Amino acid sequence: MTTTERQPLTRERIIQAAVELADEHGLEALSMRKLGAALGVEAMSLYNHVGGKEDILDSMVEYLFHSIGPIDTTAGWQASTRVAAMAAKRAFAAHPWSITLLSTRETLSEGSFAVMDAMVGMLLADGYSTEVAHHAWHAVASHVMGYAFQEINSVFGNLGDPDQGHVEELIAQYAERFPSLAAIGPHLMCCSYDEEFEFGLDLILTGIAALEPPS
Amino acid sequence: MTTTERQPLTRERIIQAAVELADEHGLEALSMRKLGAALGVEAMSLYNHVGGKEDILDSMVEYLFHSIGPIDTTAGWQASTRVAAMAAKRAFAAHPWSITLLSTRETLSEGSFAVMDAMVGMLLADGYSTEVAHHAWHAVASHVMGYAFQEINSVFGNLGDPDQGHVEELIAQYAERFPSLAAIGPHLMCCSYDEEFEFGLDLILTGIAALEPPS
DNA sequence: GCCGTAAGCGTACGCTGTAAGTGTACGACG
DNA sequence: CGTCGTACACTTACAGCGTACGCTTACGGC
């Protein structure tokens, strides 16, 4: 009682709580009032530490890129890009709100620039032209974003789900109208998202490597 | 005056107006009241024709897939997929709200199933295994979604923008911290989104073709 | 003891989606 | 011609949203 029993509100605690709230109940459930309640505080108290909801959302994006972790560029372009792309995909896929949030931000993210710079830097360091490096960045980034999107929004259940019966039922229901979809049904249900991601990633990486063999 | 002067509200007119409103002022500006106002009607009148806002958003997704147009599957797998993927990318990129909207829908879209079925069907018809067809679908879909995402959310301005000075300024500002990004700056500013998309797409398509040469 | 400052709280305003109830115009029928 | 059924637009109301503004409380330095 002599010292402050409750730890004071800080920007970091607010962002952390926002991430947890969005993880648990979805981005649409993230409101200033609920966020305050989760921290044992009224909504307006948050404004002493953050600029507003947009500021919180921007910070969540920064948190996201930070959660990718440092990018190791020492293993050579192809191997390093593989690891970094995997890490980025995992970071996005770990938070169902990531893609939706990213798609609504128009502020530029420092974190995204850092990742972009590291990936492009590896290519340039290995002797690729700025043109190819630019192409490669877009191709890899597309694959990461697009695959994370598919993994998060898959209607065929996520890996942890034991709800596979529901998926079979779904496919059976559409089998007549979409026969080809039904044909690949088994793969849709039990695919490993990491292996699936790597398949496409390797198509891109080996394709780029074939363009201009590094010295 | 004898006949109804104003044409009656219909579901189609509502969806069309919703798309236009979102195109013009962004998805966040799409509210039932504003949508009603755009149609010369009170918000609640819309509920006579649609189930609610979620229903409208779902229908906008269907509209989106419909706008891709019919998929020609007669040109052989690789060429047909190229054309279809380009059409899909263009359809998404034409509406800045497309990715955000898609990422928030958890209902499954008939339109997306139709596209998926057509693309997978082409591969199977050309003799590819269900496994490779499944991989290929994910790789192509990722590229389409991911690239549309990047094109829409690019902070480096869109092709039409004559606001290139702002971009140069932006890159110069970050040049010291992100030197590799600055190095590819010229490409970031003046790249053709269609050609850029095709570059990555061809990496994927030729990579797949190399796996199992069709008969 | 006193006061400046920081920070949490309460209230209020204009938005949002939509449930429920209130007309009202029009075609069908006696 | 009168009457009624139906379809559909309107009005009102409510809970929840982000947040501007003002009040109150707690604490460190003197």
Distance A182 CA to C12 C1' (A): 56
Q: Give start and end residues of each alpha helix (H) in chain A.
A: 11-25, 32-38, 53-67, 77-93, 98-104, 110-125, 130-153, 164-174, 179-183, 185-190, 193-211
Question: What is the predicted pLDDT for the residue at A4?
Answer: 35
Cut 0.95: pTM above it: no
What's the rounded Cα separation, in Å, for the pair A161 and A156? 10
Q: Is the Cβ–Cβ distance between A108 and A97 less than 8 Å?
A: no
The pair of three-digit structure tokens given for residue A208, joined into one six-digit string: 């780029």
Q: Over the stretch B96-139, which tens digit does the pLDDT of each residue have?
A: 999 999 999 987 788 999 999 999 999 999 999 999 999 999 99
Contacts of B99 in chain A (CB under 8 A): 99, 103, 149
CB contact under 8 A, A187 and B134: yes
Contacts of A106 in chain B (CB under 8 A): 153, 155
What's the rounded Cα separation, in Å, for the pair B19 and B23? 6
Q: Over the stretch B180-212, which tens digit does the pLDDT of each residue have?
A: 999 998 888 767 889 999 999 999 999 999 987
Answer whether residue A209 shows pLDDT above 60. Answer: yes
Selected for mutation to probe chain B from A81, A120, A142, A177 (highest B CB count within 10 Å) is A142
Question: What is the predicted pLDDT for the residue at B188?
Answer: 83
Q: Is the Cβ–Cβ distance between A149 and A99 less than 8 Å?
A: yes
Average pLDDT over residues A151-164: 70
Q: Over the stretch B35-91, which tens digit does the pLDDT of each residue have?
A: 999 998 888 889 999 999 999 999 999 999 999 999 999 988 999 999 999 999 999
**B215: pLDDT confidence band, cut at 50, 70 and 90?**
low
CB of A66 nearer than 7 A to strand D = no
Contacts of A141 in chain B (CB under 8 A): 146, 150
State the burial class of residue A15 (Cβ atoms within 10 Å of its Cβ: 0-12, 13-18, 19+): buried
The pair of three-digit structure tokens given for residue A38, joined into one six-digit string: 């989760």
- From the CB of residue A4, how many other CB atoms can be counted at a distance below 10 Å? 7
- Residue B10: half-sphere exposure toward Cβ, Cα within 13 Å: 6
- Closest in A100, A143, A207 to B146, CB measured: A143
Q: What is the DSSP string of B75-140?
A: S-HHHHHHHHHHHHHHHHHT-TTHHHHHHH--SPPHHHHHHHHHHHHHHHHTT--HHHHHHHHHHH
DSSP state of A72: P
Largest CA distance in chain A: 72
Q: Which nucleotide is nearest to B51 (CA to C1')?
A: C18
DSSP state of A108: P
The pair of three-digit structure tokens given for residue A128, joined into one six-digit string: 């690729």
Question: What is the predicted pLDDT for the residue at A96?
Answer: 96
Helix A11-25 to helix A53-67 angle, to the nearest 10 degrees? Answer: 80
Question: What is the predicted pLDDT for the residue at B16?
Answer: 95
**A198: pLDDT confidence band, cut at 50, 70 and 90?**
very high
Q: Is the Cβ–Cβ distance between B207 and A157 less than 8 Å?
A: no
CB of A41 nearer than 7 A to strand D = no
DSSP state of A50: S
Q: Which nucleotides of C are covered by protein (CB under 7 A)?
A: 6-11, 15-21, 26
CB contact under 8 A, A186 and B120: no
**A15: pLDDT confidence band, cut at 50, 70 and 90?**
very high
Closest CA-bearing residue to C1' of C6:
A48
- Which of B57, B71, B215 shows the shortest CA–CA distance to B140? B71
Identity (one letter) of the amino acid at A43? A
Closest Cα of chain A to B58: distance in Å? 14
What's the rounded Cα separation, in Å, for the pair A165 and A185? 12
What's the rounded Cα separation, in Å, for the pair B183 and A131? 10
Question: What is the predicted pLDDT for the residue at B62?
Answer: 96
DSSP state of B27: G
Q: Is A16 helix (H, G, I), strand (E, B) or coil?
A: helix
Residues of B (5-64) placing their beta carbon closer than 7 angstroms to any atom of strand D are 8-9, 36, 40-45, 48-49
**A162: pLDDT confidence band, cut at 50, 70 and 90?**
low
State the burial class of residue A178 (Cβ atoms within 10 Å of its Cβ: 0-12, 13-18, 19+): buried
CB contact under 8 A, B187 and A131: yes
Closest chain A residue to B99, measured at CA: A103
